[in-house]
A and B are shown apart, each in its own frame.
Chain A
């Protein structure tokens, strides 16, 4: 099973600041199968990034993804008030189980 470790656990930032979230895999993950989600309290997750760097439909360009192999990054260039949430990375390769990281909470400083 591929274990995804996200860091930091919590990120305290102000609106307008840049957020950099990390996702490290226990073994190499094809970029094709690395995704990022945003989740707000009481809501289902929302897909932000798939294929490590492709934005999903309707996602603003302040969200970007990068990385390869075992190290992936989600960057939010300038935080808007609606961006304060929990973010999860996911690998959904061809061999189950699909796994999620433990999440990074981006909170208002």
Chain B
């Protein structure tokens, strides 16, 4: 079945970077884009950016421009999201999500909790 499995929780200090992974299975990796969405505690979902897994093109939310980098490894069917210059406000659950069977995000990873604390 279609599945997205994300890397484990991280604890980082302010100013550091974090890189999470999203390993896919059950579908043709390069046929569908991958998005990253985060959710701070008690807050709404927030879209960060996406990658065209076929050609590697990316598009980021202006809010994260310059701090976020989304990449992919087609041989491993895995997408990565790196966020730099972390601050306490970046404490959140980070999700990868894609649209395989619908036009919206019908498949989600389980989420990665990132805690930024000194």
Please list the residues of chain A having a beta carbon within 8 angstroms of any beta carbon in chain B.
Answer: 32-33, 35, 37, 44-47, 50-51, 54, 56-57, 88, 90, 92, 96-103
Give bound CA distance, A46 to B108, whole Å: 8
- Report B111 CB to chain A, min CB distance, Å: 6
Contact A99 to B47, CB < 8 A, known contacts A44-B108, A44-B109: yes
A to B CB contacts below 8 Å, 19 in the list: A32-B103, A33-B103, A35-B105, A37-B45, A44-B97, A44-B109, A46-B108, A50-B102, A57-B101, A88-B44, A88-B45, A90-B105, A92-B104, A96-B59, A96-B61, A97-B47, A98-B35, A100-B44, A100-B47
Taken together as a complex, chains A and B put the C-alpha atoms of A98 and B59 apart, in Å, by 11
Closest to B93 in A: A44
Interface string of B50-77 (1 = CB under 8 A from A): 0000000001111100000000000000
CB-based contact A47/B61 at 8 Å = no
0 or 1 for each of B36-51: is its CB under 8 Å from A? (1 = yes): 0000000011110100
Interface residues of B (CB under 8 A from A): 35, 44-47, 49, 59-63, 95, 97, 101-106, 108-111
- Residues of A within 8 Å of B95, CB to CB, are 44-45
- What residues of B have a CB within 8 angstroms of the CB of A54 in the complex? 102
Given A37-B105, A50-B103, A92-B104: 11 more A-B contacts, CB < 8 Å: A44-B110, A45-B105, A50-B106, A51-B103, A56-B101, A56-B106, A57-B102, A96-B59, A96-B61, A98-B35, A102-B44
B46 with A45: CB separation less than 8 A: no
B1 to chain A, nearest CB (A): 12
B110 nearest CB across to chain A (Å): 6
Q: Determine if B104 and A50 form an interchain contact, defined as CB atoms under 8 angstroms apart.
A: yes
Residues in B whose Cβ lies below 8 Å from that of A33? 103
Q: A103 touches which one: B35, B44, B108 (CB < 8 A)?
A: B44
Query: Assuming A90-B45, A98-B35, A101-B44, is B102 touching A47 (CB within 8 A)?
Result: yes
In the bound complex, residues from chain A placing their C-beta under 8 Å from that of B111 are 44
